[in-house]
Structure 1
Amino acid sequence: MTDGAGTDLPLIRHNDYSPLVPPALGEWDPALPVSVIIPAHGGQHRLDLTLAALAAQTYPGHLMEVIVVDDGSDPPLRLPEIAPPGTRIVAADPGRWGIAHAVNTGAALAEGRIIQRLDADMVVCREHIEALARWHHLAGYLVAIGAKKFVEEPELSPAHLYDGVRTGPLEAVFDLSEALPSSTEQTISRTDGLRTSRNPYHVCTGPTVSMRRETFHAVGGIDPDVLRGEDTEFAYRLAAHGAVFVPDMAAQAVHLGLPAQRRDRDRAVRAVGPYLAHRVPLRRDLRKDRGRRWLVPYVEVVLHVDGDERQVRDAVSAALEGSVTDVRVTLVAPWSRLSPGRRAVLGDPSFELRLLREHFAHDERVRRADEVSPTPAPIPFRYTGPISVPLGHGSLERMIAALQDDRSGMLVVDLGDDGTATLERTEALGRALLLGADDVPASIKATHGVRHGDRAEFWPVPAAPAAPARKPAGASAEKAEKSAQAAPGRPAQAPPEKPAWNPPEQPTAAPSRGDRPPAPARKPESRLSRLRSAIRRG
């Protein structure tokens, strides 16, 4: 067993963790302390059962602490008689509320190297903590997921449950013949334990999940602004960070009570939608509203400001007006060197840069940075290309489709004399950073693959319109048609259509004297007209 980041282990391609072989349960010596964090709001009896099961764990007691975070229970939660020795109840930090806030409160107090999040209505088997913790002794970038089934809450005392969990499997305590399986277990089975899953974060629901403490804090913890679906949003950020998701079916558990979706599925689904739409760009099905701006864009477009102002503006416009509208542009230049002091406005050596800063100062889609960030997470894709080759209308869409086609981590497009353009998958970039790779492209090639393409594939040249057929010289349309019909072996051609008449545009202002057309010539007056004019004058 190792305690390190796993850089000396075989590289994991995508989410295929097959090269990692965990030790058999009960046949290894744990070394890493675990902090079990339980967010709770009311439900004292269910919490008593949860803590009784944790008291019966096979994981060494001196390596396990339990932090119950009371999220405003009335009356306040109390510590039951049967609980692990290192159990304490703390109040959630004031000013916020909800599951995410409670978990973050516990994580801030955690002393263990491993954080195990567990709901206050979960009863786990005796090997549960051990089964998940063994993976974190192998590598530091894993997220371990336990199994669960839903059961109606039985009439069961904490003492009876403790004895049952300590001496046998969960089947000896609960009647699992009527248990409702979790929908995520079907996905796990269908994707070979998530080894072939394209988006394994989908099944990483919160009731029982564990990871290294540094991994939890590296992605910023759980978003307290997300009141429904906070576990899925958190798992998405873990995926962007490069984490590998490992479900362990030996970590069995039962959830006391049926899921909320069974009580009111429509409302439960609708409650999650807005939170995930703004924060999980890969959920394209949730971003169908036209003209919307979302909290987390789909693509970051990085442009280095190394040309004139007009060229940069054209490149930005091309990026924002393409077929992929869910874009944020980052302009990289030494912006911090622009001092605010008095200067000659027109004679400023940084005139072009200041002009660009003012052009985009109030456009929330355009940001400025002195250098490129190590990762664009949680944005799932990052494009980098020269401003001399503005993105075509469909270039980004084609490049993303190419990456999604074979799940590559990077696409490199040869632009000839203009250099190269690249599209990176943030998940692959995050994995390279987690592994501490000196050569990031080489690491991405090993874990996700690198694809190459040429300019014509992603910047196709539009076909020139066909030239209109010319009429044979000296022949009318009718003669041309008869000639075509008479020629053997040649298809008959229809006479050219008469072009539709378009009325001339009305001028918006009177033309200048020099632009006025000459007045039409007057017709000569007749003898009768001259006679009538003479009579009127007389």
Structure 2
Amino acid sequence: MVKVLTSDNANEGRDIMTGGAANDLPPIRHNDYSPLCPPALGEWAPSLSVSVVIPAHGGQHRLDLTLAALAAQTYPDHLMEVIVVDDGSDPPLRLPEIVPEETRIVTADPGGWGIAHAVNTGASLAGGDVLQRLDADMLICREHIEALARWHHLAGHLVTIGAKKFVEEPALEPGEVYEAVRAGSLESVVDLSAALASSTEQTIARTDGLRASRNPYHVCTGPTVSMRRETFHAVGGIDPDVLRGEDTEFAYRLAQHGVVFIPDMEAGAVHLGLPAQRRDRERVVRAVAPYLAHRVPLRRDLRKDRGRRWLVPYVEVVLHVGGAALERVREAVNAALEGSVTDVVVTLVAPWSSLPPGRRPVLRDPAFELRLMREHFAHDERVRLADEVSPSPAPIPFRYTGPVSVPLEHRSLEKMISALQGDRAGLLIVDLPGHGPATLERTEALGRARLLGADGADDVVASIERTHGVRHGAPQEFWPSRPVTRTGPAEKASEKAPVKAPRPDDPAREEGRRPEAGVPQTGVPETGVREAKKPDPDRRTPGNRGSAGPAPRKPPSLLSRLRDAIRAD
């Protein structure tokens, strides 16, 4: 039974919304929000205020109809405000006669234009606990705001999506709409039998209300969506530089933040006018593609151009390099950037800000190695220098962290991502004996853990285990060329774990290819434990008497002696 939140327990409700200890809800696995049980419409007492933000450019008559439907809502008037943002209309928009009690028109902030800019303006002025975005050409049913807002009284990390159908705009007056919505019979003024179903509703039905959806953000389109106001601002609002597909890009960032997407079909609505895709689908798709290609790395179908640099990388590779030698770090960075996954950014973590400026003995500088490293990577846009690891790599969807001493092999990242994607796990841990763990985090799982109040590494891992799952992998699965080291004196060299053969399409099979960066080319593992040597057919042994002995070693070259002298110095 869901607890009814009233003004008497509003503070407790706010604790619930922030995911605090008062929540006491079972964990939501991926996007399966089944543990949440919202109250029936009309049978509960809301306590959270709602700010409805309506971006509008022209279309005064449609706006009049939208506001008339809002005026007939079941959500309490004293808990709802409506902010219409006029995005450069000529003539300017005006408030009609039938509007909700707390309704105002504001002009979009100067210096920008478009839907995203208008919504951001309204959100910056909103005072409600819940932010509801609504388009200026929507007729909503009388329970629409109530249906979406009831979920936000249960938990704070939710984004709710209203239903919608498309119709050709009928000849209507605001008074007709108000009376029809107030009576709960929107169909009396709109022919719903001729309405065009939304493609998002088809996806919602096919994925059990998005409970089984792998990427539920796809259907979180703009005409009617609500969330906590803090959630909107936490992800930076809507990107005003995205002129088409801004709602999808915004929803993707919400997903990386860790939210749960909930469509509520009881929040019915009618969109006045057919969708743009209906008129010119090819042109719409082409207009959206470049925006999403740069900003939504999970759209791998849009990133088919090899060697391109993208605004948002697919993976962040984190290397802790304090105290490491430059040559070792260069090897690890090159291995990360030259792998089969090309849209990668590398973050080198070290106390860079502690390096003092000003005059210093260049050759005898105590921070000599760290300064060399900074200068070597400072001007590479693919490499970042940071004093500490950020709490989240968002909007980058994956973050790899591993030891510098074990560089990634050509397909290590590709295989690790594939492993996570296969069972939708939130974290992959690979123990590298002698070097520590290598991990791959799914950003949305990390974001969910933070939203649920996880604090500290162990707490975060435990939270990810509950919401997405944690997977453990063997080193040979992701570093197939790496020698296997012995773990104890009793273990024989012949008892090594089998190494997987390269796949037929593995680039390492190509004849004449140079060794991949990070693949050990000798029998000496980086742990310092030697592999068992193979018998030398030219060495004289009791079973091989025909050999004259090992060939004499060549004296070191002048270049080798110079290098040794420099290292010793």
What is the TM-score when the length of structure 2 is the normalising length?
0.81
Matches within 5 A, 1:50-449: 50-305=66-321, 306-438=323-455, 439-449=459-469
Distance 1:45 1:204 in 2: 27
Shift of residue 324 of structure 1?
Answer: 0.3
Q: Which residue of 1 aligns with 2:40?
A: 24
Letter in 2 for 1:386: P
Distance 1:6 1:136 in 2: 11
Distance 2:19 2:151 in 1: 11
Distance 2:111 2:283 in 1: 27
Distance 2:407 2:189 in 1: 65
Distance 2:55 2:357 in 1: 48
Structure 1 unpaired stretches of 5+: 467-538
Structure 2 unpaired stretches of 5+: 4-12, 482-498, 503-507, 510-569
Q: Which residue of 2 aligns with 1:533?
A: none
Equivalent of 1:452 in 461, 467, 472:
472
Distance 1:214 1:79 in 2: 28
C-alpha RMSD of the superposition: 1.3
Distance 1:349 1:13 in 2: 50
Secondary structure at the counterpart of residue 136 of structure 2: coil
Q: Highest CA radius of gyration, 1 or 2?
A: 1
**Offset from partner CA, 1:419-456 (integer Å, 9 cap, x none):** 11000000000000001113000000000000001110
**Offset from partner CA, 1:249-277 (integer Å, 9 cap, x none):** 00000000000111111111100001000
Distance 1:299 1:361 in 2: 20
Q: Which residue of 1 aligns with 2:563?
A: none
Distance 2:385 2:165 in 1: 49
Secondary structure at the counterpart of residue 164 of structure 1: helix
Shift of residue 170 of structure 1?
Answer: 2.1
Equivalent of 1:6 in 19, 31, 37:
19
Shift of residue 291 of structure 1?
Answer: 1.2
Q: Do 1:165 and 1:173's aligned partners in 2 also have CA atoms closer than 8 Å?
A: no
Letter in 1 for 2:257: H
Shift of residue 173 of structure 1?
Answer: 2.1
Distance 1:458 1:140 in 2: 38
Q: Which residue of 1 aligns with 2:527?
A: none
Distance 2:19 2:148 in 1: 16
Distance 2:264 2:172 in 1: 27
Shift of residue 361 of structure 1?
Answer: 1.1
Q: Which residue of 2 aligns with 1:520?
A: none
Secondary structure at the counterpart of residue 434 of structure 2: helix
Letter in 1 for 2:442: R
Q: Which residue of 1 aligns with 2:519?
A: none
Secondary structure at the counterpart of residue 66 of structure 1: strand
Shift of residue 169 of structure 1?
Answer: 2.8
Secondary structure at the counterpart of residue 329 of structure 2: helix
**Offset from partner CA, 1:316-336 (integer Å, 9 cap, x none):** 000000000110000000000
Shift of residue 168 of structure 1?
Answer: 2.0
Shift of residue 398 of structure 1?
Answer: 0.2
Matches within 5 A, 1:28-39: 28-39=44-55
Identity within the alignment, %: 80
Shift of residue 416 of structure 1?
Answer: 1.0
What is the TM-score when the length of structure 1 is the normalising length?
0.86
Q: Which residue of 2 aligns with 1:524?
A: none
Shift of residue 346 of structure 1?
Answer: 0.5
Letter in 2 for 1:377: A
Letter in 2 for 1:398: K
Shift of residue 6 of structure 1?
Answer: 3.4
Q: Do 2:177 and 2:186's aligned partners in 1 also have CA atoms closer than 8 Å?
A: no
Distance 1:243 1:262 in 2: 31
Letter in 2 for 1:6: G
Q: Which residue of 2 aligns with 1:483?
A: none
Secondary structure at the counterpart of residue 231 of structure 1: helix
Letter in 1 for 2:26: P
Secondary structure at the counterpart of residue 264 of structure 1: helix
Residue-pair matches, total: 466
Letter in 1 for 2:218: H
